[in-house]
Structure 1
């Protein structure tokens, strides 16, 4: 695989379909996106790994949805890592990249030497879909369980969407010759094609977390099991790359399942914060409220948790009682 080919597949999500087994999926490779996200913060390695996994899940899931605005993934927990939040913004125009941002909140004193997922305690994993102005946002949640964020996402799709789903992910620090050490991630999302309820088993009301095996049986179940066995043969370096193009990987794994690929979607790191948005969020406050927000220097400041942008504002220009500029 040439350097040009490697770069062509970095920071992309490739949709595919397995015609012989009625499955769909995505292959994602993240490189510069992760660098853009993680360089905004000084996270410990366990937190970096969780953010990398969450960003990869966000890229894979976001591309499966007919999205007009934003998909968000959130983890809220009682553990050392209190929150992980990611946003996926759909391309504004055909051919433009989607944008991803992410951040984590954690208590450094409570972090341990254990695995990244061990830093998360009891809590929930949530997926939120916001199609923009004039629509009602959708939210689904599932408990934090299963030993990984990808297992939580699988449980969400089984429980909330009745869709058998499997993720195979790999992420870590890359040490390519001649390139500074940096994070890379790659993964495959495999999903049974959505069907109307007569074709998908419903929850039995027991309150237990559903798994893909609870949702399909018969020939569909056999197809699902066979394709998952094939996916289980993938190696970590095949997922991350950079030596195996995603198209070659799909042929190696699923050549008997008649794989068919579609146009890849580029993804980039991007944040939507701006001074205008900060001013808008403060426009509901009175001048007295604004005064309480001032620093010792008599300014109002705000920091973006996603990109670390810093805003330093004149309090007289904020709130619904803000002074009007001459001529307004």
Structure 2
């Protein structure tokens, strides 16, 4: 594979449905998007791997939720890794790419880069937030960290907050071909049982880790049979098939689920993108008084701001900031 020649299905999310099982899903492949996300920072490989996993989850979840504007995922902890954050911006029109951005916050002095990454979060939570834009109330759901991966945290979130049995099979890592630099590549499949009007959930806790709900707690016998069968088929997938340099998403679905009658829809292209701007920074500072702005002013007499997602640097005259700005920030 020539990394310089983009593969047609790279940086896309393919929606599908298994008609025989009442299950929907997504196949995602990320390549150039990850390169651009990670190029904004100098992260150690452990952190890069977590961002690759989180970006892959974000691409599939964001596309499946049909948000009007933005979906955000965050994992926060009290350990050396403080936060992994991603944003998914919906495509402005059919055929246009959705946008993803991501960053991590961690303590370089105390992090152990030679152990299981999930142990470095300590105690914390997984959060999903949906912002539908102006004049729409935002939504946020939070669940405890569960399992040994970010994917398992996302599965636990959907079981608790949405009561939707959900499964992710992901793979990601650095790929290299002779004569080219190593680069990150990721691929995965998301399965999700179709929503029901009245999930059969009791208030007695679930059968999952620490009493969290599990798929078995949410499905009837017939539904459970379909879910178990589809998951058993997904268990046969190989990493090289998920990464997909030679196996197209449609071919992969036929290999895995041909008896489940897979039906595919239009693929969603994905690109790296950041929404930061001079105006947005000014707006975020508009709630502060002149006294507050003064505390942010450097010895050089300017206020600076850096975007954690893309690294953009902004400098402002403090007199133009805050709700007491002399000229309204023009």
3-state secondary structure, aligned to 2:64: coil
Report 1:34-73 matches (<5 A): 34-73=34-73
Could you give the per-residue CA deviations for residues 218-238 of structure 1, whole angstroms, max 9, x where no partner exists?
221111111100000001111
Give 2:136's aligned residue: 135
- 3-state SS, counterpart of residue 276 of structure 2: coil
In the alignment, is the contact (CA less than 8 A) between 1:203 and 1:210 conserved in 2? Answer: no
Instruction: Provide structure 1 residue ranges, at least 5 long, that are not aligned to the other structure.
Output: none
| TM-score (structure 1 length as normaliser) | 0.95
Aligned partner of 1:216 in structure 2 is: 219
Question: What CA distance in whole angstroms lies between the structure 2 residues aligned with 1:174 and 1:53?
Answer: 15
In structure 2, C-alpha distance between the alignment counterparts of 1:212 and 1:287, rounded to whole Å: 53
1:270 corresponds to: 273
Q: Is the 8 A contact 1:159 1:203 kept in 2?
A: no
Say whether residues 1:307 and 2:310 are aligned partners.
yes
**Matched-pair contact (CA < 8 Å) for 2:74–2:84:** yes
CA RMSD between the two structures: 1.8
Structure 2 unaligned residues grouped into runs of 5+: none
- Per the alignment, residue 192 of structure 2 pairs with 191
Q: Contact (CA 8 Å) 2:205, 2:213: kept in 1 or not?
A: no
**Pairwise mapping of residues 22-37 of structure 1 onto structure 2 (< 5 A)?**
22-37=22-37
1:65-123 deviations in Å (ceiling 9; x for gaps): 12101101011101111011111010111211000011110011221110222221111
C-alpha separation in 2, matches of 1:228 and 1:146: 18
- Kindly tell me: are residues 238 and 282 of structure 1, through their superposed partners in 2, closer, same or farther at Cα, counting changes over 3 Å? same
Corresponding residue number in structure 1 for 2:8: 8
Question: What TM-score do the two structures reach when normalised by structure 2?
Answer: 0.94
CA distance in 2, matches of 1:287, 1:19: 60
Give distance in 1, aligned partners of 2:3 and 2:74.
35
Say if 1:6 and 1:243, in contact at 8 Å, map to a contact too.
no
Deviation at 1:260, TM superposition (A): 0.6
- Aligned length in residues: 324
2:241 alignment partner in structure 1: 238
Q: Distance in 1 between matches of 2:3 and 2:119?
A: 37
Mapping of residues 106-255 of structure 1, within 5 Å: 106-112=106-112, 113-197=114-198, 200-206=199-205, 208-255=211-258
Distance 2:5 2:184 in 1: 19
| Aligned partner of residue 68 in structure 2, secondary structure | coil
For the structure 1 residues 249 and 4, does the alpha-carbon distance in structure 2 shift closer, same or farther, using more than 3 Å as the test?
farther
Change (3 A) 1:293 1:2: closer
Which is further off, 311-320 or 118-127? 311-320
Aligned counterpart, 1:80? 80
